[in-house]
Chains A and B, each alone.
Chain A
């Protein structure tokens, strides 16, 4: 393995570096000419969007940390200092605050896309598992970040969520005391949450690197869910998908900007404008919107331990999803029955989200139980059984045939797809 890399770059500086450490060759291979299925729709933008979002979160977070004080006496006031006195502090903070919501919107769409088009199936199981790890890390990071402003919702959210662990018999209360570093959420809790909130995003970067590395071994899935067979099925990543991702990034930034500049607190809770008070619980405790479906699952059963287990289970079930789905066909486009059930999954999650926002009484209890039931039914019963019973539609022979069908299924005129870069 030892020995210099023979670099093809003409620029002498790039060539000099590339000879010693072939990063440019790697970029060229993985993002330049990387063969990518030619039939992506715009749902395939959301991975790139999540990357952009993470970069935005890390950048704004680092600059916020320069002015934030992880101290129960100072935290709330230091956030107000950022909002009022630090130059553009309000911008950094509102971008970071709404960036969390944008991150979850983008990630949830990214996951839904994976579910619909069967992106978790062989050979992409490990890629999917890294994705679920990313989701868990994101949730932990978001939860701890929400505690930092030390408002009423921060404090009581932290209290309620950490108390979940007390449901486990015997060991539970010990875990909670350990998490708190005391006998209630207090200074040690805030301080360690700040430390971890700063650390986890970089762990996230590492796992995302693995997620992408695994992606570049298997190659991307595509809306048809069939394998790439010939070079005609693919396009080089650059410029085709760099430019397509750029369009998506612009649209995403418009939504982001409207939120930040015109409705920065639309997704927030008024209670978090009140400084944390350990003696007064707000009338309605609600987590941030992105946790609401899980919160509803937690509350859907009257038993504390069962509720906690269901809540954690709702995410853990995703780890084994590749083996629960027994259908050999990836894309829902060719699965007539799965296609009907998929919207039910989305609806159940949205309904659960609405249940999470309401007090668990009356109709909301029933709905949250129905939602929880369907969520688990879908993964644990429907997917294993459906794979065996469903008769999939006939799959197209190849991606190029399906996409360029008008030009016939046979070999394309040379240069039309294999070497599109040479066409003017």
Chain B
């Protein structure tokens, strides 16, 4: 019959429908760095050591201005910390702990169940303290930008002197990747900003890679479980497709 051709036609239709999306991605004009990330391949996971270093970079540098309000310290089990380590890490941060019996807000060392400490009490305070620019929450930042990890990596490593003839406004900094090239965030990372305990060289690139790995995990904490389940689901479905196809052939043998 003409079944194979029909199937091909269906597939083609799907591809055509997907066309517009790839066309949209092609609109990006600023070339992004093209780093290799283990988590971007179909079955790839996270480099946990890198993600842990990234958490250190976030805590020591980014967290001074950027919140991550959708994360809890308990979530750090996802980058390989055990319960004791999480308790110890959480206890180093002071967070609001609700109201005491007199109705007054109290602060204290964070528990594993606490949310990540936010540097500012609210967005207005954050905006006022940062030269009128709100430092975006980083919980989902990798998913929230066209280009994802390469974009965030590009911004972190994209600082430099403006090319001749490009004026940079007061209170902003030149950045190759940031849209408009003028960013209000001063260069956050340089060679040696953070000292790693595991002896990894703390170059700018290494720190940026680590923090991007951490941020990618933070935005997609379910990724490893998702891909593992996906492999099983697809294998099962391929098996079922074969099986039903054989049954179909046998049932239809009568009809031809």
Contacts and interface: CB of A to CB of B under 8 A. Distances in A.
Interface in A322-369: 346, 350, 353-354, 356-358
Interface centre among B2, B20, B23, B229 (most CB of A within 10 A): B20
A166 to B, nearest CB: 27
Contact of B24 (A94, A239, A253, A286): A286
B139 interface: yes
B144 to A, nearest CB: 4
A264 interface: yes
A353 B13 CA distance: 13
A83 B110 CA distance: 23
A257 B251 contact: no
Contact of B20 (A240, A262, A353, A417): A353
Given A246-B244, A261-B229, A264-B226, A41 B19 contact: no
B227 interface: yes
B20 A261 contact: no
Given A262-B230, A358-B24, A83 B17 contact: no
Contacts of B179: 283
Interface in A195-244: 235, 239-240, 243-244
A261 B234 contact: yes
Report the interface size class on chain A.
Answer: 35 or more
A269 to B, nearest CB: 9
Interface in A98-121: 104-105, 108-109, 112
B254 A251 contact: no
Interface stretch (A125-133, A135-143, A177-185, A270-278): A270-278
A289 B145 CA distance: 18
Given A250-B237, A262-B227, A346 B255 contact: no
A284 B42 CA distance: 29
Given A43-B6, A250-B237, A346-B16, A270 B255 contact: no
Given A261-B227, A261-B234, A417-B255, A353 B145 contact: no
Given A43-B10, A357-B24, A254 B241 contact: yes
Interface in A369-424: 404, 417, 420-421, 423
A289 B3 CA distance: 28
Given A42-B3, A109-B13, A244 B248 contact: yes
Contacts of A353: 17, 19-20
Given A254-B234, A254-B241, A273-B219, A41 B3 contact: yes
B256 interface: yes
Contacts of B21: 266-267, 289, 357
Contacts of B148: 270
A38 B255 contact: yes
B1 A41 contact: yes
Nearest to A421: B254
Contacts of B237: 250, 253-254, 257
Main secondary structure of the interface of A (DSSP, over half): helix
A417 B221 CA distance: 56
A320 interface: no
A90 B230 CA distance: 13
Contact of B143 (A265, A420, A423): A265
Given A43-B10, A239-B251, A84 B17 contact: no
A310 interface: no
B254 A247 contact: no
B154 to A, nearest CB: 15
Nearest to B2: A41
Interface string B199-240: 000000000000000000001011000110111011001101
Interface in B112-161: 136, 139-140, 143-146, 148
B47 interface: no
A423 B17 contact: no
Contacts of A14: none
A37 to B, nearest CB: 12
Contacts of A90: 222, 226
Interface in A143-169: none
Contacts of B13: 105, 108-109, 112, 346
Contacts of A247: 241, 244-245, 248
B27 interface: yes
Contacts of A251: 7, 241
Nearest to B137: A275
Contacts of A271: 144
B143 A273 contact: yes
A187 interface: no
Interface string A45-89: 000000000000000000000000000000001001001100000
B233 A84 contact: no
A420 B254 contact: yes
Contact of A84 (B145, B221, B226, B252): B221
B14 interface: yes
A108 B20 CA distance: 15
B248 A243 contact: yes
22 contacts: A41-B1, A42-B3, A80-B140, A90-B222, A91-B226, A105-B14, A105-B17, A109-B10, A240-B255, A243-B247, A254-B238, A261-B227, A266-B21, A273-B140, A273-B219, A283-B179, A284-B24, A289-B20, A289-B21, A292-B20, A346-B16, A353-B19
Interface of A: 38, 41-43, 77, 80, 83-84, 90-91, 94, 104-105, 108-109, 112, 235, 239-240, 243-244, 246-247, 250-251, 253-255, 257-258, 260-262, 264-267, 270-271, 273-274, 283-284, 286, 289-290, 292, 346, 350, 353-354, 356-358, 404, 417, 420-421, 423
Given A239-B251, A247-B245, 4 more contacts: A257-B237, A261-B226, A273-B143, A420-B254
